[in-house]
Amino acid sequence: MTDVSPDVSGSITLVAGEQRVVVLPKIGGALGSWQYRGEDVFLPVANPALMAQRGVAVAAYPLVPYSNRIAQGRFVFEGKEYRLAPNMAGESSVIHGNGWEREWTVTHRTDSDVVLVLDHMSQPDDVQWPFAYRAELSYGLRPDGLEVRLVVENRDVGRQPVGLGFHPFLAAKGAATLAFDAADVWLTTPDSLPARQVPCEGEWAFGQPVDAHARAIDNCFSGFGGRAVLMNGDTGLSVTVEADRLFGHVVVFTAPDSPFVAVEPVTNMTDAINHPEIADRGLHVLEAGAQVGGSMMFRVGKADG
């Protein structure tokens, strides 16, 4: 069995073969790192703007009960207006749900697996999220990589809108290529909200490997095929992302000077809750007691075997 370190994150270390993962239950159920043969697969990144992470560098974290932004923290659901408090410094919108802001409880662990649970018990006019839910997050090291599973249960008395996903920082220092299949991409406003949906053609086509750092990208893609491949040319390390069909969108963030590429399998488009006119927005409306969930696999390898 693994040990819990006496630090602020309450970290747990999982080990399997040449892989090592650090889990941070107290920091939003995040991963502190994932290494293979001593090299970073997921890169620890500190973002002071994400205030609830308290300056701790994280390598990946869950997105629940929605992915990416809700414009101005406002939405209407079943005739009632809700307002949420901003949770990212410098942003008027709320971002990535509230699971990453909360402490998760460890319910099961072995040397290579851990299961975390979060119970959000909402109060009237809750500015984090106005509905009660339970989320279960599982991390498991397998011989060829890391399996992640996330399930959300509506524990409120009525219906609840839900989205979910996972936000890893794939290490990509130096030369790197990225490939994935998607049907469309959402072009964005200056405040990173969806403005226009266009086909993945020309500069937005990633069916074949392209330079992962050629330009700045911070966009949500719809019609995600469920598979993405990042190859780090400097180390020969490759990561293949395989996500269940539930994750019909993927958010990609990269920049010319970035040491990582974020490839986030998610269920919903950005600000989905405010776009009922979009048929494939990816928002799930759960009846009381209902669940939605899925898994993804991050397969790691090296060209030299």
* pLDDT for 211: 97
SS3 51: helix
Question: Model confidence over 195-227: pLDDT tens digits?
Answer: 999 999 999 999 999 999 999 999 999 999 999
DSSP secondary structure, 157-169, as one string: SS-EEE--EEEEE
Query: What does the alpha-carbon distance between residue 112 and residue 108 come to, in Å, rounded to a whole number?
Result: 11
pLDDT at 139 (0 to 100)? 98
Contact in structure between 14 and 113 (CB atoms under 8 Å): yes
Integer Cα distance of 250 and 283 in angstroms: 14
> Is residue 220 exposed (0-12), middle (13-18) or buried (19+ Cβ within 10 Å)?
buried
Tell me the DSSP string of 86-148: --STT-SSEESBSGGGSPPEEEEE-SSEEEEEEEE---TT-SS-SS-EEEEEEEEEETTEEEE
pLDDT of residue 142: 96
Length of the chain in residues, anyone? 305
- Encode pLDDT of 37-51 as tens digits: 999 999 999 999 998
Low-confidence ranges of the chain (pLDDT < 70): 1-9, 303-305
> Cα separation of 28 and 218, whole Å?
23
Domain spans of the chain? Answer: 12-172+256-302
At the top level of CATH, which class does the domain 12-172+256-302 belong to? Answer: mainly beta
| Number of CB atoms found within 10 A of residue 301's CB | 14
